[in-house]
Amino acid sequence: DYFDSMVLSDGRLLVFMSDSSYNGIDSAVAALQLYGVLHTPSKYLTAPDRLLNTMNWLLATSSLSTTGVPAFALTCAKGGEIHYSSASGNPLYLYNPRAGTFTSHGTKGSPLGVRKEASYDTGTVRAVPGSIGILHSAGLLKARNGKGETYTADALRGLISASRGDTPAVITRKIYEDYRSFMGGSQEE
């Protein structure tokens, strides 16, 4: 998996996540190409859909990687406005502490690199103060423990709603520890 973030020149935060694992050397090559696009200074890559469109074109026209890559990109402004776009990646789950609710935010789109003509849409949501958002790779909810059980979205939502006021680092650690405990040392999928 490849996860990255950066602060854009206008102060917005750009967050990117792709699920490029399980494909051997193709995974590393795809992640390197995605990194190259993300870290090439360009005034055109400031919107999630533009970023995914550019990454898609690169992977689809490259002879270096032959694997489709699910991905998700978002930008977040200081006022809480989030713009997002998905290439078959898991959606953004957003917890609203005022309402005590979770909402799912994603757009339709094929994995990066599958079709050169693919294009990606952008959605918008406004997060209220204290909101908690989570992006995760497919492995979080697909891995099986020694009993053959998978970690559930309900367990994840429970941890997040109980973590109101905690820092992102603390919430991440809680999720990791709960997942690790649930897996009981098994990393099978």
- Residue 76 has what pLDDT? 95
Give, for all 189 residues of the chain, the pLDDT tens digit.
889 999 988 899 999 999 876 667 778 888 889 999 988 877 667 899 999 999 999 999 987 766 789 999 999 999 999 999 999 999 999 999 999 999 999 998 899 999 999 999 999 999 999 999 999 888 888 888 989 999 999 999 999 999 988 999 999 999 999 999 999 864 444
Give me the long-range contacts of 94-97 (CB less than 8 A, separation at least 24).
94/125, 94/127, 94/131, 94/132, 94/133, 95/131, 95/132, 95/133, 95/134, 95/157, 95/160, 95/161, 96/127, 96/128, 96/131, 97/128, 97/130, 97/131, 97/132, 97/161, 97/164
Please give the DSSP secondary-structure letter assigned to residue 23: S
Residues 6+ apart with CB under 8 A from 176: none
Asked whether 111 and 145 are in contact (CB, 8 A), the reply is no
HSE-CB of 73 using CA atoms within 13 angstroms: 28
Show Cβ contacts of residue 136 under 8 Å, excluding neighbours closer than 6 positions: 90, 156
Task: Supply the pTM of this predicted model.
Answer: 0.88
